[in-house]
A and B are shown apart, each in its own frame.
Chain A
Amino acid sequence: MTTATKTPVWKQEGAVPFLQIKNVTKKFDDFTAVDNVSLDIYKEELFCLLGGSGSGKSTLLRMLAGFEEPTSGSIIIDGVDMAGIEPWNRPVNMMFQSYALFPHLTVFDNIAFGLKREGMKRDEIKTRVNEMLGMVQMSEYGKRKPNQLSGGQRQRVALARALIKRPKLLLLDEPLGALDKKLREETQFELMNIQDELGVTFVVVTHDQEEAMTLATRIGVMNHGEVVQVDEPQDVYEYPNSRFVADFIGSVNMFEGRVTEDLPDSVKVESKEAGCLLYVNHGINCAPNQKVSVAIRPEKIKISRTKPDQLMNCLKGKIEDMAYMGSLSVYRIKLEGGKEVRITQPNFSRDMGTRLTWEENVYLYWDVDSAVVLTA
């Protein structure tokens, strides 16, 4: 694993991006699938494009692979403009969501397919493929046909086939989508190990935020064909730049309000929905009295029967519903103003008797650095 102390390459001055996407737009008839997207992705990154269906993430990936041509804008891989370069001539390989293994070929021949097209010698192909089979732990399965493999095994073969040509850039379309939960976790770490080992740059498309959070060095969140935020996973989660991102990644409670005091390093927001003054310790760019949202994650809200000694960020409500989920409990609380708030709390004690329960009146409160103010 890369060391955490090193400054990530995307924060270094003057670092040259490996993959540049410059103002790329893709239109299908009058529908804009990808809308003026610009991204810089650096060598050995594992970049996740995260978005819902129809957000344009797959179209962007297909443009990188060469299956679609951008309507405007340019894609530059390792200094070479990809305009007009056909898929079979790009230094890019893709792992398809359906894996797209050739059903008429054995595992070995599936993996060897790319090398044969290069006209590589037989012996060399054999060594390379066997080496790759070993890496994905499929050495015993070379003679099988894809229909004789389990989902997880197919996924490994698909990965091996995409890596065999040692592409500079590997594209993965929902790589873990078809696997069950346990296999997903295993594969996630395997994928990260392989990436470290080979030093390939990965671009992953996914709609699964968990997948993105654990895999990615950086996440690009897409919505309606636009990239709305690009950041490291924890920053996307803790510092979403818009209501959409806050809502799309994880769950969030949002309070509408008006800015009453706007200092360089703090904001006060009056919110009828919350029923109190909200105070957040970071500055924002806004006009006085502007309408904003204060977003707070369910796990960052504290809950208590007794009134805490803070006036701001302190809400009153009644427990409407609760669910015990083992490691934590989820509460749905109805505020006096009628708004519902979702809270998760770790189950600190085993004692059921002291636990909060239905219909109880409670106070909700949080620290000044827990919430985030969103203007967009």
Chain B
Amino acid sequence: MKKTSKFLTSSSILGFLFLYAPIVSLIVYSFNSSKLVTIWGGWSIKWYGKLFENEQIIEAAMLSFKIAFITSCLAVILGTMAGFVLARMGRFKGKMILSGWISAPLVMPEVITGLSLLLLFVALENTFGWPAGRGTNTIIIAHTTFCLAYVAVIVQSRLSMLDETLEEAAMDLGAKPSSLFFLVTMPLIAPALVSGWLLSFTLSLDDLVIASFVSGPGSSTLPMVIYSKVRMGVTPEINALATLMILIVALGVVAAMVIMKRQHRLNKELKE
């Protein structure tokens, strides 16, 4: 091992401080017993208790989880299809454009995604009468659109590493294409599906911008509630809530990473 230089150590410490000091201070202040956010009044977990008594927040959290759950399921199904097309269709006219289109939502400014979806929903409602007003359904649709792109990219990269002769071998042994996917392909890309699902879940859970465009009355997600509360001033309750959200998102991301890492190892074993 090369000896780590002092410069590298100190710069990495600075970097991590820059990234995580705000989050750490937020977590610490969520255990502050004082009602004033800026004054330390000793340790306490009472704000967590208060949080669970706040019906508005609990309701919004439940809605957010519901949306995130449905969104990730839809995104995994649709994203897998898109990933399959990109990985398996070979070269066809406009493949470049298609793959560009699929990954565009990854870099598209959220404001634009939100605004365009809002306009689309309004236009659809005016012409077809569906979706009737904006609410949970429109948020799910909007979240699915951008989560799908992440899933498609993950699935595509997994599929392109997959040895296609495995599928041929399955067919050769009598597997019809209908069962082939569930017997061979899906088990092999399962890690990609799970990490895509987890990623979608966290993305949907913490989206504020797009949700604010396409939500309707009575369908405020958790980030929207937090945002509206913070405008009145930060309360310790919000600190507690934010800490819990950080925990959930961190768990999701770590799980996705662990799964991807295992998948990477499996790939290497397959390739040898």
Q: Which of A113-121, A185-193, A210-218, A221-229 contacts B (4 or more CB under 8 A)?
A: A113-121
Q: Contact at B172–A103, with CB atoms within 8 Å?
A: no
Q: Contact at B165–A113, with CB atoms within 8 Å?
A: no
Q: Contact at B174–A88, with CB atoms within 8 Å?
A: yes
Contacts A88-B171, A102-B170, A165-B174 given; indicate if A96 touches B165 (C-beta within 8 A).
Answer: yes
Q: A102-B170, A103-B266, A113-B183 are in contact. List 18 more A-B contacts (CB 8 A).
A: A66-B171, A87-B168, A88-B173, A88-B174, A96-B165, A96-B168, A100-B163, A100-B168, A101-B169, A102-B166, A103-B270, A104-B187, A104-B188, A113-B173, A114-B173, A117-B175, A117-B179, A147-B270
Residues of A within 8 A of B168 (CB): 65, 67, 87, 94, 96, 100
* Interface size band for B: 20 to 34
Q: Contact at B163–A88, with CB atoms within 8 Å?
A: no
With an 8 A cutoff between CB atoms, is A234 at the interface? no
With an 8 A cutoff between CB atoms, is B269 at the interface? yes
A189 to chain B, nearest CB (A): 25
Q: Contact at A88–B184, with CB atoms within 8 Å?
A: no
Q: Which 7 A-B pairs have the closest CB atoms?
A: A117-B174, A114-B173, A100-B169, A100-B165, A147-B269, A87-B171, A104-B187
Residue among A96, A103, A162 with max Cβ neighbours from chain B (10 Å): A103
Q: Specify which of A67, A88, A102, A114 is in contact with B176 (CB 8 Å cutoff).
A: A88
Residues of A within 8 A of B188 (CB): 103-104
CB pairs A–B below 8 angstroms (7 shown): A65-B168, A88-B173, A88-B176, A102-B166, A113-B170, A114-B174, A117-B173
B83 to chain A, nearest CB (A): 19
With an 8 A cutoff between CB atoms, is A98 at the interface? yes
Q: Which of A72-113 contact B (CB under 8 A)?
A: 86-88, 92-94, 96, 98, 100-104, 113
Q: Contact at B172–A88, with CB atoms within 8 Å?
A: yes
In angstroms, Cα B172 to Cα A92, docked, is 8
Residues of A within 8 A of B270 (CB): 103, 147
In angstroms, Cα B166 to Cα A100, docked, is 5
A111 to chain B, nearest CB (A): 10
Interface of B is mostly: helix
Q: Contact at B169–A88, with CB atoms within 8 Å?
A: no
With an 8 A cutoff between CB atoms, is A161 at the interface? yes
Q: Contact at A65–B165, with CB atoms within 8 Å?
A: no
Residues of B within 8 A of A101 (CB): 169
Residues of A within 8 A of B176 (CB): 86, 88
Instruction: Tally A residues with Cβ within 8 Å of B.
Output: 24
Q: Contact at B169–A118, with CB atoms within 8 Å?
A: no
- Count A-B pairs with CB separation below 8 Å: 63
Interface string of B48-68 (1 = CB under 8 A from A): 000000000000000000000
Q: Contact at B173–A93, with CB atoms within 8 Å?
A: yes
Of all chain B residues, which has the CB nearest A173?
B165
In angstroms, Cα B188 to Cα A265, docked, is 64
Residues of B within 8 A of A88 (CB): 171-176
Residues of B within 8 A of A147 (CB): 269-270
Q: Which of B155-190 contact A (CB under 8 A)?
A: 163, 165-166, 168-176, 179, 183-184, 187-188
B189 to chain A, nearest CB (A): 10
A315 to chain B, nearest CB (A): 50
Contacts A103-B188, A103-B269, A147-B269 given; indicate if A98 touches B174 (C-beta within 8 A).
Answer: no
Contacts A102-B184, A103-B266 given; indicate if A65 touches B172 (C-beta within 8 A).
Answer: yes
A203 to chain B, nearest CB (A): 14
Contacts A88-B172, A114-B173, A165-B173 given; indicate if A98 touches B187 (C-beta within 8 A).
Answer: no
Residues of B within 8 A of A165 (CB): 173-174
Residues of A within 8 A of B166 (CB): 100, 102-103
Q: Contact at A93–B172, with CB atoms within 8 Å?
A: yes
A364 to chain B, nearest CB (A): 48
A8 to chain B, nearest CB (A): 29
Q: Which of B124-177 contact A (CB under 8 A)?
A: 163, 165-166, 168-176
Residues of B within 8 A of A94 (CB): 168-169, 172
Residues of B within 8 A of A93 (CB): 172-173
In angstroms, Cα B270 to Cα A101, docked, is 9
Residues of B within 8 A of A92 (CB): 172
A92 to chain B, nearest CB (A): 8
B167 to chain A, nearest CB (A): 9
A62 to chain B, nearest CB (A): 9
In angstroms, Cα B266 to Cα A66, docked, is 30
Residues of A within 8 A of B175 (CB): 88, 113, 117
Of all chain A residues, which has the CB nearest B180?
A88
Q: Which of A225-244 contact B (CB under 8 A)?
A: none
A214 to chain B, nearest CB (A): 26
In angstroms, Cα B165 to Cα A161, docked, is 14
Q: Which of A57-75 contact B (CB under 8 A)?
A: 65-67
A66 to chain B, nearest CB (A): 8
